Amino acid sequence: CIDAIRTRNEFVSCMNNIIPFTNTSSYVFTHDMPMYSSIVSSQHNPRCSNSTASRRPVGIVTPQNEIEIRAAIICSREHGLQVRVRSGGHDYEGLSYLCRTPFVIIDMRNLRSISIDIKKETAWVQSGATLGELYYSIAQVSQTHGFPAGICPSVGVGGHFSGGGFGAMVRKYGLAADNVIDAYIIDVKGRFLDRESMGEELFWAIRGGGGASFGVIVSWKIKLVRVPPKVTVFNVYKNMDQHTIKIISRWQHEAHKMKNELFIRLIIQYVHGDEDTAVQALFNSLFLGEIKDLVPLMNESFPQLGLKTKDCIEMSWIDSVLYFAGLKGAPELLLGNKTDPYVNYFKAKSDFVTKPVPQHVFSRIQEKFHQQKLVFMLMDPYGGRMSEISESHIPFPHRKRNLYNIQYLVKWEVNGVRASNKHINWLKELYKYMEPYVSRHPRSAYLNYRDLDIGINPRENTSYLEARVWGEKYFKGNFKRLTKVKSKVDPDNFFRNEQSIPLHQN
């Protein structure tokens, strides 16, 4: 306890020494301050917050500028503290705010400015902004521009862009990270670097390789994309039966081959009605065009769904963002944290599918879904632009030959070791069952759906060979290159966590 107080005081006085004329209590929060607890626990998956393995941070720094980030890095290094960087705090395993050794959180909440240059069709966005704020800001200046990132508005730009990031425009425009054209990062030496000064290798690594292994990314320059003034959305629900399973089978063959403007996500979910419960398939779609063009297109390429004009709604792109997020109302809703997802405990896992899964597997999935309550299998089709980009363009390697991505998700309301084990074990069984039907050698996973079950770094100096167990699942052949970048930019492995990129030479 005395040690902890001493470390805390030393850290704060180090910050004061580096930035003497500011009041540290306005942006460094320690145990003894009333704001500490609320800032520590904001935006957490409650499953992770209950982790007993993690310590409480020595301090939380909420910087207003690069100088304060730099000071936090230098003082953490000087006093043997680890750093966790948090933007939106949505990490599935809590790696942005949990740590087993003494540490400091750098929380980017005050760095959330967005500046748009509509003539050049670019924007600078700071890491602490949410996707909702970004989408809203774009729509404020143009009804015909958008950005191809994730579906949930409360997700933070910092973690999302640095892990890849995809949403309903993935088939037309690829990942969020594919559309990043510059960035500012503060490295382990406290240097403030842009694309030119950081060099192409580090710039490559932070677009999909996870920012937390390389430094603190302050802001990103992105290329905006064009969207039509009217887009079309639909939700078609089908109870899971043999007929629906045939439709799903068709979807697997067609969804990745359709026009790039058409994205049809498939969600298998367990639904509780007033009197009845059922497993349902939801076909949830965005079309970058009008109903008059969508309906004939669907009749031609996917008639099995039986889409009718009355199923479709035309709206602006920004309204489609609200629609996908399940929000009803004005775009201002995207600004609040009303979209905070953490009402439930949850655990997720991911897969990539390269060959259509046989129909009998979906019958079995349906049976398995009857054993659980809040369960989802979200399937996002690839193809289109995703197939045109090479596997090594950025660290995210899941491109050509991938039909779709699966996210398996289980939620629960009451926590406790027994309750969570029951739900997590159910998810693990489903994941095991799917093994023969998904990508192999390695069985791939998506970094932004972080899953510590696929492997972790057991030690600070974990070797590249040991870390390949999990690293090649996320990054395939790009993992080795990531370790080389890591060795160059952070040779003492200061920026590390359970799944950070190890040094190449270890």
Active site residues: 449
* Residue 163 contacts ligand FDA per CB under 6 A: yes
With CB under 6 A as the contact rule, which of the stretches 211-219, 292-300, 353-361, 412-420 interacts with ligand FDA? 211-219
Q: Using an 8 Å Cβ cutoff, are 485 and 495 in contact?
A: no
Tell which positions 96-155 bind ligand FDA, by CB under 6 A: 96, 108, 127, 150-152, 155
Q: Does position 211 bind ligand FDA by CB under 6 A?
A: yes
| Contact call for residues 170 and 264 (beta carbons, < 8 A) | no
Nearest to 101 by CA among 79, 86, 68, 70: 79
Using CB under 6 A as the binding rule, whether residue 217 contacts ligand FDA is answered as yes
- Alpha-carbon distance 438 to 357, whole Å? 8
Cα gap 12→10, rounded to integer Å:
5
For ligand FDA, give the closer residue by CB, 212 or 357: 212
In order of 234, 239, 292, the CA distances from 127 in angstroms are 32, 40, 39
From 65-73, 158-166, 271-279, 453-461, span contacting ligand FDA (CB under 6 A): 158-166
Shorter beta-carbon distance to ligand FDA: residue 69 or 295: 69
Residue 36, token pair as written in the block: 């500490």
Residue 257 has what DSSP assignment? Answer: T
**Options 8, 47, 109, 160; binder of ligand FDA; rule CB under 6 A:** 160
What's the closest the beta carbon of residue 119 comes to ligand FDA, in angstroms? 28
Helix (H/G/I), strand (E/B), else coil: 446:
coil
Per the CB < 8 A criterion, the answer to whether 138 and 320 are in contact is no
Neighbours of 26 (CB within 10 A): 10
Q: Among 59, 102, 148, 156, indicate the residue that binds ligand FDA (CB under 6 A).
A: 156
What is the phi/psi pair of residue 225, to 5°? Answer: -120, 160
Q: Is 166 in the site for ligand FDA (CB under 6 A)?
A: yes
Cis peptide bond N-terminal to 442, omega within 30: yes
Per-residue mark of binding to ligand FDA, 399-438 (x: CB under 6 A): ----------------------------------------
Position 383 contacts ligand FDA (CB under 6 A): no
**Residue 196 CB coordination number (10 Å):** 9
Q: Which is nearer to ligand FDA, 180 or 217 (CB)?
A: 217
Residues 445-484 that bind ligand FDA (CB under 6 A): 448
Tell which positions 222-261 bind ligand FDA, by CB under 6 A: none
Q: What's at 76, amino acid-wise?
A: S
CB of 217 to ligand FDA, least distance (A): 4
Spatial contact of 215 and 158, defined as CB atoms under 8 Å apart: no
Q: Measured at the alpha carbon of residue 91, what is the angle toward residues 86 and 92, in degrees to the nearest 5?
A: 160
The whole-angstrom separation of Cα 491 and Cα 483 is 10
Closer CB to ligand FDA, residue 103 or residue 245?
103
In the complex with ligand FDA, the residue whose CB is nearer, 86 or 385, is: 86
Instruction: Pick between residue 86 and residue 476 the one whose CB is nearest to ligand FDA.
Output: 86
Helix (H/G/I), strand (E/B), else coil: 466: helix
Q: Is 341 in the site for ligand FDA (CB under 6 A)?
A: yes
| Residue of 30, 62, 162, 457 interacting with ligand FDA (CB under 6 A) | 162
Closer to ligand FDA by CB, 89 or 331: give it: 89
Write the CA distances from 1 to 58, 82, 103, 135, integer angstroms.
11, 18, 15, 45
34-93: contacts with ligand FDA (CB under 6 A): 84-92
Does position 95 interact with ligand FDA (CB under 6 A)? The reply is: yes
216 binds ligand FDA (CB under 6 A): yes
Using CB under 6 A as the binding rule, whether residue 193 contacts ligand FDA is answered as no
**167 binds ligand FDA per the rule CB under 6 A:** yes
DSSP H helices, 199-241, are 200-205
Alpha helices in 208-324 (DSSP H): 242-254, 291-301, 317-324
- The CA distance from 96 to 210, in Å, is 11
Among residues 280 and 448, whose Cβ is nearest to ligand FDA? 448
Q: Compute the least distance from the CB of residue 186 to ligand FDA, in Å.
A: 9
Using CB under 6 A, list all residues that contact ligand FDA: 84-92, 95-96, 108, 127, 150-152, 155-156, 158-160, 162-163, 165-167, 211-212, 216-217, 341, 448
